[in-house]
Amino acid sequence: MQKIRNIAVIAHVDHGKTTIVDGLLEQSGTYGTHEHHDERAMDSNAIEKERGITILSKNTAIRYKDYKINIIDTPGHADFGGEVERVLKMVDGVLVLVDAYEGVMPQTKFVVKKMLALGKKPIVVINKIDKPSADPERVVDEMFDLFADMGATDEQQDFPVIYAAARDGIAKLNMEDPDGNFECIFETILKHVPEPEGDRDNHTQAQVFTLDYDNYVGKIGISRIFNGIINKGDNVMLAKADGALVKGRITKLIGFHGLNRMEIEQAEAGDIVAFAGLETVDVGDTICDPSNPVPLDPMHIEEPTLTVVFSVNDSPLAGQEGKHVTSNKIKDRLESEMQTNVAMKLEVVGEGKFKVSGRGELQITVLAENMRREGYEFGVSRPEVIVKDIEGVKCEPFEHLVIDVPEELSGSVIERLGKRKAEMKSMLPMGQGFQRIEFEIPARALIGFRGQFLTDTKGEGVMNHSFLEFRPYSGGVDSRSYGALVSMENGETLSFSLFGIQDRGVLFIGPQTKVYEGMIIGEHSRSNDLAVNPIKGKAQSNVRSSGADEAIKLIPPRGMSLERALEWIEDDELLEITPLNIRIRKKYLTESERKRHSRGSK
């Protein structure tokens, strides 16, 4: 048998998971001497790189002494929490990272809870000890309390601790020790992570935890082999979650080493490998021995909590900027997304309308962003939470919200959240004039809150939330407090007219921008919508004004990113997303149509 250790790296967002994996690759000598690699190399796709976050969990393998260590880097953002749970089933130990200043955050709780429940052996890494505000001993205490609160076994509670500055490649077992390298991490893994159970002489059982797609070989399943061996060319039985057994053949077997994947001939119990050849493969399926197919426990897949409707773009500017604009194209693209993204669901709800459900706004934004980069053009509606019936009671998702705010602002933030039905759970001083306040709040009330919160705290506040549970529906919550500035004309904006409008609120666009009737060009400073004319030129006069034009000073518009716009819109509004622009519009473009429909709804 090969000597193998399988670990996952889990933590709250940004606590340094991908950075530490980088260091483990580097310091184990897995990167060849001439191999070029980027910082945080595991964040390999374009959106991950740009945003500096991990979206998909990814695995790699390193060699340390005569061991192979399979490492799975997981996403820390709450929207991708479902992945973490599946990944945890594939490993025997975990590195739980926690920021030496921020301490236990919502997603730390979420992942620790899952990890403990699955009986995994944790190694706690207190990361970013180089931060001037770091307080490692406090954070160790917080982790100890968290484990105790979440019902850790004695063995789990007795976790080893490593102090690290992952970015600088530094680690040590005691704060007092001089800075060392990652050797202590490797050694702790070998010592504390159990060796994989199972045997290569048993009947084959491998479970798929992630899917990938390749244009040449088709669907790829990444799986952990729990028993037996898999050879390239093997005939196997695929046991599906619904109990069906499907025959198939492994046409390609792929092994991992550092950032590379290579074809291999054979793999055995304990290892993590990818394979191609089974087109119907899904997450949770078991590859079995056809002579004795015994499926492994199915995997729990998190239910979606949020939906939006993707639709064919029907704005007056439709079809001018995108390559793929038809209902069929959009449908095909969404369907192919569902092939590999098990956390999302798709439903056709009408002519050119598709309901897409997922775990949160970020997950949906990432899909929309990928599509616009691929040349798609489409509309997206306001996110809605999924309300469901649990034993006759109407329930909605609730979230655990943690905010860090300057003390003098905490009053106003608490008041604002109170209006949104948040229940305050605790308040703690964090040092440097900051307070940490925890709430439980309906997910519905969080839609649109981030923008408001950043404005209220002048960008100084930090907020984090993660899914808690479904609870009885909490009744109506406040929506956006400001109306929209809506264009009443088609054409191109002029500085002169924008200048006249900018006192009415905050503009989202600048001059020489294409607009149409019903397009939203800004936020009104009052609660009602206001129709404005952004294309009106200056009245012609015979007298030459001396430099009047130069006197026009426009306030820079508020850039509306996809997320910001998605959070901002109301039920009667839509986003128009194209490869070149993100526009905000009214569903009904003319004022008379809007009047008619608002009357109808009352």
Residues that bind Mg ion (CB under 5 A): 17-18, 54
The residue among 75 and 442 lying less far from ligand GTP, judged by its C-beta, is 75
Radius of gyration of the chain (CA): 27
Give the Cα separation of 221 and 213 in Å (integer).
Answer: 9
Inter-residue contact 326 to 312 (CB < 8 Å): yes
Rounded distance between C-alpha atoms, residue 111 and residue 403, angstroms: 19
Nearer to Mg ion by Cβ, of 17 and 333: the residue is 17
Strand partners, 206: 225, 287
- Alpha-carbon dihedral of residues 85, 87, 93, 97, nearest 10 degrees? -70
CB 482 within 8 A of CB 525: yes
- Measured distance CA(417)–CA(427) in Å, rounded: 14
Residue 203 to residues 195, 209, 236, 422: CA-CA distances in angstroms?
19, 20, 11, 52
Closer of 162 and 236 to ligand GTP (Cβ): 162
Told to check if 128 binds ligand GTP by CB under 6 A, we report yes
| Cβ proximity to ligand GTP, 20 vs 509, nearer residue | 20
Which one of 54, 341, 363, 452 is in contact with ligand GTP (CB under 6 A)?
54
By CB under 6 A, is residue 578 in contact with ligand GTP? no
Contact between 329 and ligand GTP (CB under 6 A)?
A: no
Minimum distance of ligand GTP from residue 19's CB (angstroms): 3
Q: What is the separation of C-alpha 432 from the centre of its chain, rounded to a whole number of angstroms?
A: 30
Q: Could you tell me if 185 and 171 are in contact, meaning their C-beta atoms sit under 8 angstroms apart?
A: yes
Reading the block at residue 97, the tokens are 């990272």
Give CA–CA dist 447/573, Å, rounded: 14
| 167 contacts ligand GTP (rule: CB under 6 A) | yes
Site size for ligand GTP, by CB under 6 A? 22
Does 165 interact with ligand GTP (rule: CB under 6 A)?
yes
Beta carbon nearer to ligand GTP, 352 or 358: 358
172 in contact with ligand GTP (CB under 6 A): no
Question: Does residue 409 belong to the site contacting ligand GTP (CB under 6 A)?
Answer: no
Looking at the Cβ atoms of 151 and 431, the one nearer to ligand GTP is: 431
Rounded to a whole number of angstroms, the minimum distance from the CB of residue 457 to ligand GTP is: 21
| Site membership for ligand GTP, residue 15 (CB under 6 A) | yes
Tokens of 498: 């924008």
Nearer to ligand GTP, 13 or 485 (CB): 13
- Name which of 76, 69, 120, 116 is nearest 98 in CA terms: 76
- At position 592, the amino acid (one-letter code) is S
Q: Which is nearer to ligand GTP, 51 or 536 (CB)?
A: 51
Residue nearest to ligand GTP (CB): 76
Residue 311 lies near ligand GTP (rule: CB under 6 A): no
584 binds, among ligand GTP, Mg ion, none (CB under 5 to 8 A by kind): none
Residue 308: φ, ψ to 5°: -135, 160
One of 3, 113, 131, 558 touching ligand GTP (CB under 6 A): 131
- Please state, in angstroms and rounded to a whole number, the distance separating the CA atoms of residues 8 and 445: 33
**Residue closer to Mg ion (CB basis): 54 or 497:** 54
Q: Position 20: which residue type?
A: I
Residue 567: contacted member of ligand GTP, Mg ion, none (CB under 5 to 8 Å, by partner type): none
Of 11-19, 272-280, 462-470, 590-598, which part binds ligand GTP (CB under 6 A)?
A: 11-19
Closest CA to 74 of 119, 43, 31: 43
Please give the C-alpha separations between residue 398 and each of 423, 450, 538, in angstroms, as whole numbers.
11, 16, 52
Decide: is 84 part of the binding site for ligand GTP (CB under 6 A).
Answer: no
The reply to whether 17 sits near ligand GTP by the rule CB under 6 A is yes
Helix (H, G, I), strand (E, B) or coil at 522: strand
Of 312, 308, 336, the C-alpha closest to 324 is 312
Q: Binding ligand GTP by CB under 6 A: which of 29, 32, 52, 194?
A: 52
Q: Which of 4, 7, 8, 14 binds ligand GTP (CB under 6 A)?
A: 14
Q: Which of 19, 223, 313, 365 binds ligand GTP (CB under 6 A)?
A: 19
Rank residues 98 and 443 by Cβ distance to Mg ion and give the closer one: 98
> Which of the listed partners (Mg ion, ligand GTP, none) does 282 bind, with a CB threshold of 5 to 8 Å by partner kind?
none
Kindly list the residues in this chain that would bind ligand GTP in the complex (CB under 6 A).
Answer: 11, 13-19, 40, 52-54, 75-77, 127-128, 130-131, 165-167
